[in-house]
Structure 1
Amino acid sequence: MSIWWSLHLRREAASVPLARRLLIGTMETAGVDPDVSYDLSVALSEACANAVEHGGDPSGSPSEAYRVTAYLDGEKCRIEVADSGPGFPVDRGRPPIRPARTDAEHGRGLCLIEELADHVHIGNKPGRDGAVVSFDKILKWREGAPLMAV
């Protein structure tokens, strides 16, 4: 069995815990191992926080939205967060992810996502403005989980 959902959220800080709670609730109901759920929820929070902070159009419109899509399909969960901001500055290929200084208050989100997920894709929407961060993780299931992969 597969589950997927998509949210269009306003670029407001209050949208981040909403997306996180929906993901955790979905995975808890499906029977995903709590440690895997936690890792994915932290990664999702980081991706959403980046979309809220950096994903607006250059005019700074406060009503600008971003999109979160999650797929739980048997053995894997895939999450995508896409915004309509300027995108990542890229000379060629994938944008560089640089570790933040230990005393920095910002700049750790993409590194955390890479540590918590199995596969990560970071890039820009083709042909228009906007960044896309997608990541996936192999799922582990609780004993007797209702949606456990066969």
Structure 2
Amino acid sequence: MSIWWSLHLRREAASVPLARRLLLGAMDTAGVDPDISFDLSVALTEACANAVEHGGSDPAHGGGYRVTAYLDGEKCRIEVADSGPGFPVRRVVRSPAPPPPATAESGRGLGLIEELADHVHFRNGPDHGAVVSFDKILKWREGALLGAM
């Protein structure tokens, strides 16, 4: 058994907790360990917040962003894609950007995703936009719906 879902969301701050709650609810129902669920929900929150802030609003490209999540067997994979200008080349080829100053109020989200997930991939879409995909090996609670399969 597996669970997958996809959301098309407007670039509004209110969309971020909606995506997070849906992911947490699916993982709780499936029986994912709460610590793993928390890590993935924080990573998703950061990816969605970046899409809202930087995702572009060109109606020709949809103007919003998409979140897709797969819980299948031992892994959860999440992808957030927006319609903005995309990542700078240094981020896509994995050259680390300089860390933000300690007093900065932003600039830590992509690094946080890298810390919380097992595998992270940053890329630009084929025509436009940025795509953040990440996955994490799942741990299950005793008697979990998916973990017992």
**Runs (5+) with no aligned partner, structure 2:** none
Contact map agreement 1:97 1:110 (CA 8 A) in 2:
no
Q: Within 1, Cα distance between the matches of 2:95 and 2:51?
A: 16
In terms of fraction of residues, the more helix-rich structure is 2
Task: Give the drift of 1:99.
Answer: 2.4
Amino acid at match of 1:65: G
- TM-score, normalization by structure 1: 0.91
Cα deviations by residue, 1:78-118 (Å, 9 ceiling, x for unpaired)? 00000010001116724644322221100010000000000
Report matched runs for 1:93-132 at 5 Å. 93-94=93-94, 96-126=96-126, 128-132=127-131
**Runs (5+) with no aligned partner, structure 1:** none
Q: Within 2, Cα distance between the matches of 1:106 and 1:141?
A: 33
Q: Within 1, Cα distance between the matches of 2:133 and 2:25?
A: 20
Aligned position for 2:143: 144
Q: Which runs of 4+ in 1 moved over 6 A?
A: none
Q: Tell me the C-alpha RMSD between the 2 structures.
A: 1.9
The 3 A distance-change label for structure 1 pair 95 and 8 is farther
Task: Give the drift of 1:26.
Answer: 0.2
The 3 A distance-change label for structure 1 pair 137 and 149 is farther
